[in-house]
Chain A
């Protein structure tokens, strides 16, 4: 069981050796190094887990997934390099993608860094504005009267649809892209925050008032904590919307970032690089998602046992 991962790695690499007689030797070389690393690390872990219980539990949970993932890489290899079922050069094999990943690592790293900066600045701005507007709309009925129609009409427009206008209005493409990301995040965060705040159980507010609470306590220590589960749904939706907007904005106007890299590589018909960027995006976005999940678990520890996550 503990050896499933190294066995899968050997199988997948064996498939590659059978298929890659006429592949560039450099590709095969780096592909081989990757699998030797996987084999090495997994054997070390298989030994370590004998002495380390937490590691054993983690491995028991994750190993089936890793094994299948590695075997799927082998299947991909068979489909592309083996039987040539998908047209080249649009669908390169895993070894070619790995080679692009390694050879273009400096530019990929730089693009990831720029995407991260743009994403975080836009997301942070959108979340802050969204929380403020959501709390105001949720708490005050007069703000709700005027704010809700605006939110309902303007909010559902996809942020990417504003790109033509944003390019005209803003002095720099980066600023307008950050603004678009913020806009994409703002809508779900505002909507969910407002509904969370306005659905605060009236009895919590009643209790707080009989305990001597003023308005600040009612808003910041009753309504907002009560709305936090809802707010996180908005934050997750906003994060998804921000990825989409980021990639589109980068490939249209901004001259840096992963979205730009994908369309640039496509322009040169270097599909190995396109896939390399997609692999990076998958890791990049899922890491941010995981991070948000961790923050939620920390903040909503009081819900543990009430609801199933």
Chain B
């Protein structure tokens, strides 16, 4: 029962959320970034959000992180409303945003220091460095790291707080194709071990299909969720299987990038 309550509390719900910003060229008018967005993610689910750039994916992620507040609507983790940032909702950006003045170890510790629990949890730091395979770089400064290593540090830094929900904003978008595929497997491994609820924003359709249980497709101006596709492909997934390719073709068609004529089997 306790375990059930625990997992329940890491579900995520977004209800009728709208958000607008002042237009950059004319501060008196506001531009609608999100209109009446609703979505819900079950505890332990890995869901992707795909869509063209400027469709409000990152805005939505910032609202869920609590970095911005919506104009209207409600966001909930379990039954708790989101109204400020919290260590319970980890966020990893495309730019790893490591603190350049801290070593790898101190970057990973940052969340523990910020919450004032470093003394009790210091032993976990090594565990998380091992998890992302960076023990050898513990005392290196961020500018000595490659893009993939830096993003691993960013992941470890977010995970050390044991967040209920992990928000990933195109975390692998700046990596080369090979590193990206390897990191996708690493994120999946972390997710399968920990069963953290993950919301992954990406513009890489292959990545969305390879990784997620469900794929939400957003359209722009104002941003809203156009379609949700359940991805029932068995894990581990094969990037070249015919089912994989069929799903990919269907999503491209929905986004009007297919070119030829294909159909999505629903």
Contacts and interface: CB of A to CB of B under 8 A. Distances in A.
Interface residues of A, number: 24
6 contacts: A206-B65, A206-B97, A208-B114, A210-B85, A211-B87, A303-B100
B67 A209 contact: yes
A25 interface: no
B173 interface: no
Contacts of B102: 225, 302
Nearest to A210: B91
Contact of A204 (B90, B99, B158): B99
Nearest to A205: B67
B157 A302 contact: no
A221 interface: yes
Contacts of B86: 210, 212
Given A209-B85, A212-B161, 6 more contacts: A201-B97, A210-B158, A214-B114, A225-B99, A302-B102, A302-B142
Given A212-B87, A305-B144, A306-B143, A207 B97 contact: yes
B91 A222 contact: no
Contact of A225 (B95, B101, B158): B101
Interface string B35-47: 0000000000000
Contacts of A244: none
B115 interface: yes
Interface residues of B, number: 29
Contact of B97 (A204, A304, A306): A204
A175 interface: no
B101 A207 contact: no
B89 interface: yes
B115 A212 contact: yes
Interface string A47-82: 000000000000000000000000000000000000
A211 B95 contact: no
Identify the interface centre among B65, B93, B99, B115: most chain A CB within 10 Å of its CB: B99
Interface string B154-165: 000110010000
B110 interface: yes
B161 A211 contact: yes
A212 B112 CA distance: 9
